[in-house]
Amino acid sequence: MPVVHYSVFQKAEKEFTEAFGQSLIQWGVIEQRLCFWFQRLTGMNEKMARQIFYTVTSFNARSRMLRGALSVSEIPDYTAGFLDCAIKKAVSYDTFRNQVVHREALYDFRESSKTVGRYILIEGKSALRFTAISDDDADVFTADDLLVARGNFRELARLSRTPFSAQLIRNSFKYATT
């Protein structure tokens, strides 16, 4: 194993933790936006809607709850279609997000690796034999992957709260929302 100066570790760690944090912050914004929609679909006040939406701890359960509210809401088809697409996209992103938060972060020392000198995320069951894994067999995420996820999460959050969605909200709900 090569000797690596501490400053190299620090730089790699900073790059990785910033990307990791930024991607998870954007995921939180997606969940916040979907909670907002849950509130509007159910007609609950914000305190009640947040309490119920965030009581369930898995995103899968939250998305099912939101779909349930959507299925009985009296909103225009174009609003329902928009929200259904947003939920589907979020569900597809959740698989990656879930892997990110449940993997182990390791510094890659493998001299022949394309990720050498960087922090990576790897499945915990593979971490002990990691040095023997070739790049072809390694299922790893890098800071680059996290930055792509951050962009995707940010865009979905933005689309869930654009002037277009604000117009959908105004046109779809006849009761006062507070």
Range of the domain at 154: 6-172
- Count how many domains the chain has: 1
**Residue 106: helix, strand or coil by DSSP?**
strand
Query: Is there a domain that residue 119 lies in?
Result: yes
Cα separation of 177 and 143, whole Å? 40
Cα three-residue angle 154-158-159, rounded to 5 degrees: 120
Query: Is there a domain that residue 177 lies in?
Result: no
Find, among 139, 150, 142, the residue nearest to 30 by Cα.
150
Two structure tokens written together for 81: 């279609």
Decide: 60 and 91 in contact? Cβ < 8 Å: yes
Query: Is there a domain that residue 85 lies in?
Result: yes
Residue 67: exposed, middle, or buried by beta-carbon count in 10 A (0-12, 13-18, 19+)?
Answer: middle
pLDDT in tens, 32-58: 999 999 999 999 999 999 999 999 999
Confidence (pTM): 0.83
pLDDT in tens, 71-120: 999 888 888 999 999 999 999 999 999 999 999 999 988 888 888 899 99
pLDDT in tens, 135-154: 555 688 999 999 999 999 99
